C-alpha cells in the first residue's frame, strides 16, 4: 500500500483536516469505529483511509471489504474517491439500475472491495452465497439513512452472509438513538464532530413569504436574483420536481430535474451536467440530499420543506462544503407548515427587478468511446482541437466511462464541434458525437 503522503498527492491535497487526522489517530484495530461528522466535512476520505489500513493488514485475500450505502449516488462518489486514492486494490460498484450482468462478470474476478446499495448487494449474494465469505471489513456509510429507508432486513441478511467480519466502521452526519442488534458492535471507538464549529458549514438562512398563487413567481425571482451561480431546489415529491422544472423552463430558466423516477442514465447525466457547468440549476427530491458533492454549490432552496429536521440538515449539507460558505432559502405561503428549525432565519424581500440569469457557458458533448476503447482525456482534448480552433478555457470537465465519454465545451462552439466531429475517428475508432 502507498504511504499517506502518496494518497494525499493522488488526491491533490496537502494535508488532512482535523477530523480526518483525529480519526486516524483514534483508530484501534481491535475495536469497531463510529464517526459522526457534518455533511461536507470529509467523512468519505476519513473512512476510506481507515478501511485501506485494515485491508493492508488483511493482506487483500479475496473480497476483504464491503461498503454499504443507501443510494447509488453515494456509491459512485465513494468509488470515485477510492479509485483516486489508489490503484492497488480492485473495486466493483453495484447498485440498482446498473447492468446486473456486467456487475456479475466483474464480481467473478473476486475484487478486493465491493461498494454498493443493500438491494443490489443482496441480489448478488442470492446468486452467489459465497460472495462475501472472505469479507473481514464492513463499512456502513450514512447508516442512519439506510435504517430510515427500511433496509433493516436487507442489512441483516447481508451481515449473515459475512461470517468473518472483524471490523465495522459506521459513519453519519446525524446521530440515531438506537442501533439495531444485528450490528453487534464491538466496543466501538466513537468520535462525534457534530457540534464542532470548525466543521459547521458557514451558512446564511433566509425566509421568503409569498401567497400560494405567487410562490412559483417568488422562486423565479429568487433564481434571477442569485444569477448564474449553482442552485439546488428541493421538493418533496417527484411530481413536484417535474412540475417545477417544466414551469421554470417555460419562464426561460435553464434547469434539470433529478429524482428516483428517472432511469440511471438520466440521473448520472444530470450530475455530470451540474458538475461540469453545463447546467446551473438542479431541481430534486431528497435523493439529492445525500451523496452529491457538487463543486461551487452555493445555494440551496427549499421550495417545499422536509418533514424531518434531519433531512433539512442533509439538504443544506450540499452547500457550504469543506468549510466554504453558502446560502439556504425557504419559500413559504401562509398555508405552509413553518418548521421550528427555520424560525431564526432572516426575512428576505424580492421587490426589485432581476434579469434572467445568463445561460450556462458550457454544453455537454457525448462521445461514443471510453476507457475500454483505450481513450483518455488527452486524446479527447487533442481531438477537439483538431475540429475547430479551441482555447484552453473552451474545454471543461471530462468524464470517462467504459464505453462513452462526456466533455464540457464552450456553448458557442458546441454546434460546430458536433457538426464536424460526428462520424469521425479517435485513435482509429469511429465515434458518434453529439450534444446531450
pLDDT digits (tens, 9 = 90+) for 206-221: 999 999 999 999 999 9
Write down the CATH number for the domain with range 202-347: 3.40.50.300
Residue 89 cell numbers, joined: 486494490
Work out the percent of the chain whose per-residue pLDDT is above 90. Answer: 67
Residue ranges per structural domain of the chain: 4-192, 202-347, 362-435
The CATH number corresponding to 362-435 among 1.10.287.3510, 3.40.50.620, 3.30.70.330, 3.40.630.30 equals 3.30.70.330
pLDDT at 324 over 90: no
- Average pLDDT of the chain to the nearest whole number: 90
Domains 4-192 and 202-347 are alike in CATH topology: yes
Q: What is the mean pLDDT of residues 192-205?
A: 76
Q: Which CATH superfamily is domain 4-192 in?
A: P-loop containing nucleotide triphosphate hydrolases (3.40.50.300)
Helices (H), 128-162: 143-148, 152-160
Distance in angstroms (rounded) separating the CA atoms of residues 43 and 199: 11
Would the pLDDT of 14 be above 50?
yes
pLDDT digits (tens, 9 = 90+) for 21-45: 999 999 999 999 999 988 778 899 9
Helix (H) or strand (E) holding 322: none
**Nearby residues of 156 by Cβ (< 8 Å), 6 or more positions away:** 180, 182
pLDDT at residue 198, rounded to an integer? 58
pTM given for the model: 0.72
Are 313 and 263 in contact by the 8 Å Cβ rule? The answer is no
Task: State residue 177's pLDDT score.
Answer: 77
pLDDT of residue 201: 66
pLDDT the model gives residue 341:
81
Please tell me the predicted confidence (pLDDT) of residue 1. 41
pLDDT at 197 over 70: no
Over residues 101-127, the pLDDT tens digits come to 999 999 999 999 999 999 999 999 999
Burial class (CB in 10 A: 0-12, 13-18, 19+), 273: buried
Confidence of residue 258 (pLDDT cuts 50, 70, 90): very high
Q: State mean pLDDT over 63-88.
A: 91
Lowest mean pLDDT among 183-192, 306-315, 348-357: 306-315
Alpha-carbon distances of 193 from 176, 188, 199, 202, rounded to whole Å: 14, 16, 7, 15
The pLDDT tens digits of the residues spanning 277-322 come to: 999 999 999 988 876 778 788 999 999 998 888 788 888 888 876 5
pLDDT at 357 over 70: yes
What contacts 39, CB < 8 A, 6 or more positions away? 173, 201, 313, 314, 316, 317, 318, 321
pLDDT at res. 273: 96
* pLDDT above 70 as % of the chain: 97
- pLDDT in the model for residue 9: 86
Amino acid at each position: 500500500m502507498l504511504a499517506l503522503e502518496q494518497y494525499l498527492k493522488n488526491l491533490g491535497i496537502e494535508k488532512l483536516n482535523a477530523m480526518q487526522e483525529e480519526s486516524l489517530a483514534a483508530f484501534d484495530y481491535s475495536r469497531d469505529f463510529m464517526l459522526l461528522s457534518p455533511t461536507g466535512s470529509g467523512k468519505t476520505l476519513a473512512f476510506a483511509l481507515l478501511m485501506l489500513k485494515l485491508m493492508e493488514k488483511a493482506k487483500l485475500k479475496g473480497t476483504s471489504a464491503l461498503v454499504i450505502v443507501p443510494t447509488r449516488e453515494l456509491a459512485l462518489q465513494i468509488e470515485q474517491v477510492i479509485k483516486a486514492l489508489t490503484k492497488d486494490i480492485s473495486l466493483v460498484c453495484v447498485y440498482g439500475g446498473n447492468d446486473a450482468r456486467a456487475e456479475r462478470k466483474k464480481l467473478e474476478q473476486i475484487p478486493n472491495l465491493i461498494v454498493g446499495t443493500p438491494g443490489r448487494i443482496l441480489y448478488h449474494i442470492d446468486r452467489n452465497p459465497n460472495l462475501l465469505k472472505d469479507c473481514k471489513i464492513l463499512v456502513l456509510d450514512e447508516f442512519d439513512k439506510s435504517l430510515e429507508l427500511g433496509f433493516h432486513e436487507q442489512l441483516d441478511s447481508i451481515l449473515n452472509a459475512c461470517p468473518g467480519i472483524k471490523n465495522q466502521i459506521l459513519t453519519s452526519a446525524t446521530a440515531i438513538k438506537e442501533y439495531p442488534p444485528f450490528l453487534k458492535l464491538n466496543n466501538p471507538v466513537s468520535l462525534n464532530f457534530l457540534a464542532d464549529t470548525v466543521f459547521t458549514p458557514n451558512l446564511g438562512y433566509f425566509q421568503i413569504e409569498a401567497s400560494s398563487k405567487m410562490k412559483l413567481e417568488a422562486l423565479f425571482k429568487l433564481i434571477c436574483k442569485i444569477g448564474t451561480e449553482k442552485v439546488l431546489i428541493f421538493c418533496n415529491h417527484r411530481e413536484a420536481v417535474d412540475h417545477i422544472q417544466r414551469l421554470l423552463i417555460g419562464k426561460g430558466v435553464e434547469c434539470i430535474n433529478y429524482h428516483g423516477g428517472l432511469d440511471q442514465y438520466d440521473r448520472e447525466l444530470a450530475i455530470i451536467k451540474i458538475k461540469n457547468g453545463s447546467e446551473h440549476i438542479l431541481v430534486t427530491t431528497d435523493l439529492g440530499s445525500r451523496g452529491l458533492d457538487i463543486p461551487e454549490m452555493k445555494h440551496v432552496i427549499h421550495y417545499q420543506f422536509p418533514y424531518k429536521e434531519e433531512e433539512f440538515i442533509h439538504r443544506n449539507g450540499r452547500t457550504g462544503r469543506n468549510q466554504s460558505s453558502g446560502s439556504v432559502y425557504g419559500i413559504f405561503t401562509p398555508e405552509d407548515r413553518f418548521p421550528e428549525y427555520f424560525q431564526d432565519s432572516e426575512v428576505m424581500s424580492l421587490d426589485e427587478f432581476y434579469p434572467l440569469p445568463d445561460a450556462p457557458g458550457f454544453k455537454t458533448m457525448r462521445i461514443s468511446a471510453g476507457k475500454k476503447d483505450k481513450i483518455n482525456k488527452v486524446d479527447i482534448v487533442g481531438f477537439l482541437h483538431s475540429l475547430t480552433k479551441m482555447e484552453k478555457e473552451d474545454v471543461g470537465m471530462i468524464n470517462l466511462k467504459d464505453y462513452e465519454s462526456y466533455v464540457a465545451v464552450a456553448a458557442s462552439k458546441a454546434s460546430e464541434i458536433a457538426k464536424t466531429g460526428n462520424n469521425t475517428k479517435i485513435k482509429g475508432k469511429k465515434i458518434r458525437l453529439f450534444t446531450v
